[in-house]
Structure 1
Amino acid sequence: EAAIQLAESASEVARKIGAANTLVRLKSGGWLAENTDAPGFTESLAQANIEIADQNVCLLGAGGAARAVALALSDMRATLTICNRTESRAEELVKHLNINADIRSLEHAEAEMGKADVVINTLSLGHTGRTLDFPEGKLRTFYDISYGKPAKAMLEQAETAGWKPLDGLSMLVAQAAFSFELWFGILPDMESALARCRKLVEATT
């Protein structure tokens, strides 16, 4: 948030999200604030062949990470429900992004997950080893934007409940690749980068 406020200019995506994860040096000497989290998330869904258009998507959490995810989901024409512990924060997110979404408290997460085609988790519960109560998955996708050890407990619980688990490592690689392209005009090979990152992450979990 501070980066976008201090930069001389900002892309439309960064402006909508209200935060920057990438700064690009301008020829004038100033900085352009960019955000590659939203396109990185979109790319990770494409890599996993996950259809979002006209699907019921349950987004868990309304923090900083959820902003980019919610914007991407809205742009992909998802029917969106956001579950967050503090409903007012989710309402602020929807208003800030100017998107349509139903708001529910986290107490209703299990019921909303039961109705969703895809569930996206941006909550940090897994970082403390905590998990959610999962309804029967029926091989639907549960995508946790965390990866490695912080995502392990949640993804294992999801798989046990019959969900198709997916972590956020591909999103990390994609947003980094798009940042690299902005800096150097070269888009790295995401497939090989992801394979190397996956190997390193698995070695530490």
Structure 2
Amino acid sequence: MISGNTALVALLGQPVSHSLSPAMQNAALKAMGLDWSFLALPCSADDLATVLQGLEAVGCRGLNVTIPHKQAVSQLCKELSPLAQRLGAVNTMTPLPSGGWHGHNTDVEGFVAPLLHNNANWSGTRTVVLGCGGSARAVVAGLQDLNPSEITIVGRRDQTLQPFCSDLQQGRPAHSVQLQPLLDNDPQLQTRIQQADLVVNTTPIGMSSHQPDQGPVLPLGEDIWNNLTAHTVLYDLIYTPRPTPWLQRGEALGCRTYDGLEMLVQQGAAALRSWSGVDEVPVNAMREAALKNLSHP
């Protein structure tokens, strides 16, 4: 029940009507007994600074930020966590007592959570990341902390791929794993994928809204996955459809697979910890709400 004392937490993005975050976060807030309400607020890039000022003025307790504002909003924060500063991207904001916003990024924590389930050890493994957009930044940062022996970043354009790798390498110790850029038409790619312990898809290929006439339903096309072996783990950030055609191909070959729903849940749980100051948040309630609303939009 919303009352005169109900506080606001919100998601900013454009569009946000499809988001599972309101169902997920409100289920958690109810379970925690917090008199807060989480709303999805559409916001254009031109209005972003004004909206942030207004939300601060009305006492908003915290914000999630999604596409296309994660990088732009980092420039509007008064303070950034070291991780958000390194990535140049913010997805979680908390009001500062002195005014303004603290920006953080919980996408990294959300991404690695399924990989670390049951104390899995990824040290020394070979990893391949498909794509070098905004989501890939959090993925690569998470992988760097898992200490693999090799991280190959696959992109379509060298002018995007090289700066991406340079940005993510900055500030890392000299002995840390080096990022290996590789164009998607490079003849080495087939071998890298066959040898990989983990392949992560950060591209939109395979998403429900991705029509067949826009290209292949599998990232990098069909043939490159024919020789995939069961030892490779596939992780797709997409969760609609569930599973994606790419993960279905992997499952048919005996691969262990992850989709992006658990990443969504875990990054949301990490954000809620930041806003509330409570370490134990009801992750199961968040997951159940996300699954229910994914099945029944």
Deviation of the 1:161 alpha carbon: 3.3
Which protein is bigger by CA-based radius of gyration?
2
Correspondence for 1:66: 136
Residues 1:83 and 2:154 aligned together: yes
In structure 2, the residue matched to 1:191 is 284
Asked if 1:107 is matched to 2:107, the reply is: no
Q: 1:151: Cα distance to partner?
A: 5.3
2:89 pairs with 1:19: yes
CA distance in 1, matches of 2:76, 2:241: 34
Root-mean-square deviation (CA), in Å?
2.0
- One-letter amino acid of the structure 2 residue matched with residue 124 of structure 1: P
Aligned to 1:159: 251
Q: 1:121 aligns with which of 201, 204, 210?
A: 201
CA distance in 2, matches of 1:70, 1:158: 22
Q: How has the CA–CA distance of structure 1 residues 155 and 104 changed in structure 2, closer, same or farther, with 3 Å as cutoff?
A: same
What do residues 98-118 of structure 1 show as CA deviations (whole Å, max 9, x unaligned)? 252111111244332111011
The 3-state SS of whatever aligns with 1:33 is strand
* TM superposition outliers: structure 1 runs of 4+ over 4 Å: none
Whole-Å separation in 2 of the counterparts to 1:199 and 1:111: 40
Residue of structure 1 equivalent to 2:232 = 140
Q: Is the CA contact 1:126–1:150 (under 8 Å) kept in the aligned structure 2?
A: no
**d(CA) in 2 for partners of 1:170, 1:23:** 21
Structure 2 distance, partners of 1:141, 1:161, is: 11
Contact 1:126 1:151 (8 Å CA) reproduced:
no
Query: Does structure 1 conserve the Cα–Cα contact (< 8 Å) formed by 2:234 and 2:255?
Result: yes
Cα displacement string for residues 124-157 of structure 1 (whole angstroms, at most 9, x for unaligned residues): 1112261033132224210001112175222112
Matched residue of 2:112: which SS? helix
Name the structure with the higher helix share: 1
Q: Which residue of 2 aligns with 1:9?
A: 79
**Residues 62 and 84, structure 1, Cα contact 8 Å, conserved in 2:** yes
Alignment check: 8 A CA contact 2:193 2:228 kept: no
Kept in 2, the 8 Å contact 1:136–1:162? The answer is: no
TM-score normalised according to structure 2 size: 0.64
- What are structure 2's unaligned runs of at least 5 residues? 1-70, 173-177
* Alignment size in residue pairs: 204
The Cα shift of 1:199 comes to 3.9
Identical counterparts, % of pairs: 28
